Structure formats: structure tokens, C-alpha cells
Structure 1
Amino acid sequence: MKYFDYAASTPLDEEAAQVFVKASTEYYGNSNSLHDFGGQANELLNHCRQEMADLLAVQETGIYFTSGGTESNFLAIRALLTSAFKTGKHIITSIAEHSSVISVFQQLEEEGYETTYLPFNENGVINLEQFNKALKEETVLVAIQHGNSEIGTLQPILEISKICKRNNILLHSDCVHTFGKMDLKPIAKAVDSLAISGHKFYGPKGSGLAYINPQLNWLSFFPGTVHEKGFRPGTVNLPAVASMTVAAQKAYNELQMNHQHDLSVRSAFLRGLAPIMSHCIIYDALNEDQLPSTVGLRMKGIEGQYVMLECNRRGFAISTGSACQSDMHAPSKTMKAMDVKLKEAKEFIRISFGRSTTVNDATELAAALTTIIKQTLNQ
């Protein structure tokens, strides 16, 4: 079986796994305990905090370790709302946001907030003119995903940030799909908060972090919480934090190499689709606004779930979109954001590459997809 679902989850890096075991067996004290075991654990935790802050070029006082992207998105958005620059109950996000962002916005609507959900243009990117028109005097928060997890398009966060700053609006960005694939220092500087998840860049599942600008005076969603300076309850998972930190450092050290690798694999895959390209629709952005590791596409007239099962039968693991909604039998949110009709949206599949994907692997997958579509159309 060959794996093409790295956008859903990656295997744990071997070095990161060794660090996980070492931290579990040697630094098992509670980092909040006052004895020496707790002190050793706290020292390692603070070291990891500084290392992650260095990767983002932010202050370590703004780094909060969490259980992953979902918790980071939820708590960061909640924290920003307690430190809004002005009074108002209007918030903005996109139709294609991860379910963890959509769900918290739905909660906020029940609490009296008004939400504007922005669509994508034909290139899978938010239109800045539409964004500007959506702004109101009462707008206090914007949450826009940096990289789309289904088609890999990059949103204009730097431009959105400038607009938000001019209007005293706080900005959160879900960076789960981009951390480890590109340098996020400019993004971290531009936003008020962001979220990442360890298992997307060869770290352990159940690890992640939220960054919140230390200049903001936020209130805890869980009053009385002492862990992570009141950001979240529960003992910090130090082995996961240490393991994630090692995986993050390795990802940053290999950014350029992995980017070139993904470009080569993507090119080979798309070349392999040439015989059936007239039956395919590839969704991507232009030039540097596209992550090469993610390919979102439709095969006209064939449901994505059928294609996924046929690929699985042939030894290739692909997906039909975000793993966080795959069991809901709902069409891709990204397709909805791009105004793709329901029937066509159900044709969507996602191919995503990783470190271990070879050009030959990609060529073989393209050949399998070619066979599937030819056989299906000839039935």
C-alpha cells in the first residue's frame, strides 16, 4: 500500500519518536510540581517553548502547547475575543475553514455574534475586494486559514493583516496545513494568533500549539486554570511537546529540500494524468500561492468515494477531502466555497505527498487513476 494522504496525517519521525520515549522515561515529573523532577520537566518544557518560538520568530511568552490544531483554534479564537480592540459582535471567516473553526463560530452565533462566511474565487483564494466589502464598524475578529487543507491554496494573510490592522480588527490564522512546509515567520508576525498541529509535520498525534501575541491581555476560557499560564487545563504532555519540537526543527531544516521534492513529485503526477486530463479538473492557485504537496481534483462523472475505494483496492491510499469530515458524507467545504454544485463536489478527491513519496510512486498512482477512469467510462 502506497500512502498519498499526508495532508491528513504523517508518520512519526524516527528521531522524534526516540525523543518521545526519552522524555517519557526520564522527564516524567509534572512540569508544575515544585520538586526536582518537576523542575527538570519544566526546564525541558521551557526549552521547547523557546525553540518553537525561534522557528516562528516570536516571543516565547506567546507560545502555548495544546493537544493539536482543533484545541489551538478554539482557545485562540476565544482568547482573542476577550481582548478585542473595540466593541462589536461581527466576525468574519471563510466557507472552507476547518471544522474546528466553523464549529466555534457557530457557537459564537448562538451567543449573539453575526458571522460573514467568505467564498473562494476560481483559484481557491479569498477575493480581497469581497473581504473589504464584508467589513463593518462592528467587526472585531477575522479567522482565515493560511493554507487550504484540501487543495493546498494559500490565502493572502499578509494583505488581510494590513486591512485588519487599519481597522483595529484581530486576526487568527489556522496554519496547521502550512507549518513545516514553508517559513511562517512573516505570517506569525502579521497575525494576532495562529494554530499548528504536530502530526501534520511528522510529530506525534495529540500535540500542537497556539501562538497569541503577548501584547494582548486575554482571559482564560477556563477560569482557575494553572497549566500553560491559564490557557488550557490539564497536565502538559511533555513527551509529545518534546517530540513535536524535534519534528518541527527537522521540518524547518529541510524546508527547501522538501519543497523541491514536492514540486518534482507533483509534476510527475500531473504528467501521468495527461491521457485523461480532459476528464479531470485540477483545483489550484497561481505560482507561489500553491503548496505543491497537495493536489485537489475531480474526475468528471465519477464520485470521489468510488475513486478512493478503487485506488485502495489497487494499493493506493488517497482521500476525498479533510479527514475531519470524511465520515459525514458531506461534500468538500472547499468545493462549496468555490461554488461547485453538489453533484460535482462529490467527485472531489485529494492527493497529498510526503517525504517518502517518490516520483515513481506518483507516476504509478496517475496510471491507476487513468485505468480507473477509462474502465468506468467504458462500462
Structure 2
Amino acid sequence: MGKMIYLDNAATTKTAPEVVQAMLPYFSEYYGNPSSIYDFAGKSKEAITKGREQIAEVLGAKKEEIYFTAGGSESDNWALKATFEAYKAKGNHIITTKIEHHAILHTCEYLEKRGAKITYVDVDENGIVKLDELEKAITPETILISVMFANNEIGSIQPIKEIGRIAKEHGVLFHTDAVQAFCQVPINVDECNIDMLSSSGHKINGPKGIGFLYIRKGVKIRSFVHGGAQERKRRAGTENVPGIVGYGVAAARANASMKERTDKEIAIRDHLIHRIETEIPYVKVNGDRIKRLPNNVNVSFQFVEGESLLLMLDNYGICASSGSACTSGSLDPSHVLLAIGLPHEIAHGSLRMTLSEETTMEDVDFVVDRLKEIVAHLRSMSPLYEDFMKKQNK
């Protein structure tokens, strides 16, 4: 096996060297607790402030609106649970979509058991939310709309500005899970009327175990972790100073390179899709062709099991996935692919490949060459494919 070709950057990314270097002093040199009052601890406090400023700048937000968490899942949980508690006097209705990350969907299930009414809006065949259905779902009891900025499996980018406008016109809070979109597409929270936004550091070459929730000033939301006065009394616990430092550097780095990096990713992405579509028969590209994350390719191969495909790709040093890393242990087909109308047998044959700034044309050409061999081999052992070809040749 030659070099590893890593095409699972939607699951996690490699921590950038400059991010690691920025973090190191805060493990052993500037290790003071930022809540302490002596000068030595002030170094840690200053580092947190800088990280908050770096992230706020990417969003066009105020630094006081950035609250650090342990990651995207915590941020999603906080946004939904705390809004439900804080706005009970107004209502108990939350609107989301059928293709959200499980951090949203499972939180909604939890809230339903506690009296929340949840509407799960449909998406079209490309995974784009149906705006008319979303607006019709709003009632006087609606307190929150939560729609992900871009889907983690098929890469489709939602009409966030339009959703934000609808929410604002109806006096409803708007939260977006931007874990996949942050620093992959430009985001301005004011232009999009976003009230809350979730993100996670390890998706943008930052460290794991750090995320943030943007909460617009004036949004009445409850504390999520009770204890000390950290994060302006909304999320207690000694701050993850090295993680915050690393996230800030990663955000500044990714924001500065966004245009050049994503232009390159789009070119490689489109080349990969073109070769797969033209050289492998009975393939379906999942997700919107245009309104799509720069680095996302999701395809379904008819008459092929996704798990077998992944194992055989791994033999060549190619790392990919069949969907969300959070559900990789599940034998059920992707809820996202089912929501866009794929039948079970085709959804089971899905492959997600997500690029990074290090991915080259040579890498994806090697991947396609191996895919052609693997798909042909797996289909040669499929009775369903044999029957299909017999019917085609009649």
C-alpha cells in the first residue's frame, strides 16, 4: 500500500502545524487558570479573548456573542434545550428538517418527551429545504427554527438568508448548525438574521474537544452548565485554553485562505464527480450540483454495498465514509439519503468523499481508478446486478 489518501474531512481534519504550535505554550508555560486574579493567569485570559475575537471576526459578530463549548453537538444541544426552557411562556413549537445532524434530531426527540412539538420539514430531491412548507409550519407557538447551514452527508447548502428572513418576519428565533459550513463558505450572522450558530474546531484543522455557540446579544437563553461564572455565567467550567487558542488560529487561518482553498477544492471536486459519472455506470450523485460545499462528493453506486466498498478502498489506503461519522456503526441506511427519496437498496451503496486543501488531482484520479475496479468486482458477485443486466440485454 502506498500513501494514505484521506477523503473523510467532513468527519475530522488534520490539526494544522501552526495551530499545534500556537497551543503548546498553554499546556506547560502559560497554564494558569483564566479565572484567577494574579498576573500569570492573565496570559490565559488574554488568549481566550483573542480566540473569541478571531472567531467573531469570521462571522461579523461581536466577541461577547461567542460562547465556547466542547464541540458542535454540545452547541446544538444548548441552542435547542435552553431555548425551549427560556421561551416556554411564548410556546413550545420548534421547526427543523428531516436531514439534520443527529445532534439536532436526537435533541428534538428528547424535547418531544418533555412537551415540545416538533415539525420536521421535508427537503427536495437535492436536499434543499422547502421554504413554503417551512413558512406554513410556523404557528403562534413557534419559538425556534433550526436548519443546518450545509448538510454533513450530501453537502447541500441551505437558503439560510431566506430562512433567516422568514424567521425574523414571524418573530421566531433562528439557529443554524454550521459545523460543516464554518470557514468553507462566507457567513455573516447579521446578513442572514442568524440568532444562534453552532460550530466545531476539528472540522477546520483545529483541535478536537472545542466548539462554540454564537448567541446574538438580546437572545434570552438559559445557562447550559451551572457552576462558576465562566462564559459570562452561561457555561460554567474552567475554559479549555489550549483548545480555544487553537480554534482561534484555525479560524483565522481558514478564513484567510477560504477563497483560494475552496476554488481549488471545487475544481478537484467537479473533476472527481465528472470522472465517476462518465466512467462508472449506474451511479447517482447526491446533493445539489451548485449549492454544494466545495469539498463534498456523495455518490450512490447501484448494486453495491457501501460497507464492502469502504473496506476495499481502505486496502488501497483510501479513507472515505458512507455518511456521518457519528452513525458509522449503524447498519441502517442514511436518514438523509432516504429523505431525498433514495430507495433503501441504493442508499446502502453510498460513498461520501470530502476533500481538504492537501487533496490533489492525482489523488482523486487514483481513487477513481480504484473505484472502477472495486465496483466492477462487487457487481460481478451481485445476483441483483446479474438479473438486471440480463433484462437490459434482452
Say whether the 8 Å CA contact 1:198–1:205 is kept in structure 2: yes
2:99 equivalent to 1:103? no
Q: Which residue of 2 aligns with 1:374?
A: 376
Tell me the matched-pair count.
378
Instruction: Give the aligned CA root-mean-square deviation in angstroms.
Output: 1.7
Alpha-carbon displacement from aligned partner over 1:311-332 (angstroms, at most 9, x marks no partner): 1112211101000111122211
Q: What's the CA shift for 1:82?
A: 4.3
Match of 1:252 among 248, 252, 255: 255
User: For the pair shown, which has the larger CA radius of gyration, 1 or 2?
Assistant: 2
Q: Which residue of 2 aligns with 1:92?
A: 95
Alpha-carbon displacement from aligned partner over 1:147-197 (angstroms, at most 9, x marks no partner): 101111001111011111111111110000011211112577521100110
Say whether the 8 Å CA contact 1:146–1:154 is kept in structure 2: yes
Mapped to 2, the partners of 1:7 and 1:31 lie a distance apart of 32
Alpha-carbon displacement from aligned partner over 1:117-160 (angstroms, at most 9, x marks no partner): 12220111011111122222211111110010111100111101
2:19 equivalent to 1:7? no
Alpha-carbon displacement from aligned partner over 1:29-81 (angstroms, at most 9, x marks no partner): 11111122222211221121122111211111111111111111111223333
Mapped to 1, the partners of 2:375 and 2:138 lie a distance apart of 44
Q: Which residue of 2 aligns with 1:57?
A: 60
Q: Which moved more, 1:205-214 or 1:84-93?
A: 84-93
2:260 equivalent to 1:270? no
Q: Which moved more, 1:49-58 or 1:140-149?
A: 49-58
Mapped to 2, the partners of 1:101 and 1:188 lie a distance apart of 24
Gaps of 5+ in 2: 382-394
Say whether the 8 Å CA contact 2:69–2:212 is kept in structure 1: yes
Q: Which residue of 1 aligns with 2:365?
A: 363
Which portions of structure 1, spanning 4 or more consecutive aligned residues, are displaced by more than 4 angstroms? 186-189
2:210 equivalent to 1:199? no
3-state SS, counterpart of residue 327 of structure 1:
coil
Mapped to 2, the partners of 1:74 and 1:165 lie a distance apart of 22
Mapped to 1, the partners of 2:247 and 2:82 lie a distance apart of 24
Q: What TM-score do you get using the length of structure 1 for normalisation?
A: 0.95
- Residue identity over aligned pairs, in percent, reads 31
Alpha-carbon displacement from aligned partner over 1:221-257 (angstroms, at most 9, x marks no partner): 3344422122223211000110111111110110111
Mapped to 2, the partners of 1:179 and 1:197 lie a distance apart of 8
Q: Which residue of 2 aligns with 1:214?
A: 217
Say whether the 8 Å CA contact 1:270–1:366 is kept in structure 2: no
3-state SS, counterpart of residue 211 of structure 1:
strand
Match of 2:47 among 44, 56, 59: 44
- Once the two structures are superposed, the pairs formed by residues 105-254 of structure 1 within 5 Å of their partners are 105-186=108-189, 189-254=192-257
3-state SS, counterpart of residue 326 of structure 2:
coil
Q: What TM-score do you get using the length of structure 2 for normalisation?
A: 0.92
Q: What's the CA shift for 1:306?
A: 1.1
Structure 2 counterpart of 1:98, which letter? H
Say whether the 8 Å CA contact 1:227–1:233 is kept in structure 2: yes
Say whether the 8 Å CA contact 1:95–1:336 is kept in structure 2: no
Gaps of 5+ in 1: none
Q: What's the CA shift for 1:207?
A: 1.1
3-state SS, counterpart of residue 94 of structure 2:
strand
Alpha-carbon displacement from aligned partner over 1:82-116 (angstroms, at most 9, x marks no partner): 44496111111111111111121111101101111
Mapped to 2, the partners of 1:277 and 1:230 lie a distance apart of 56
Cα distance change on mapping 1:258 and 1:374 into 2, 3 Å:
same
Structure 1 counterpart of 2:19, which letter? A
Mapped to 2, the partners of 1:321 and 1:9 lie a distance apart of 13
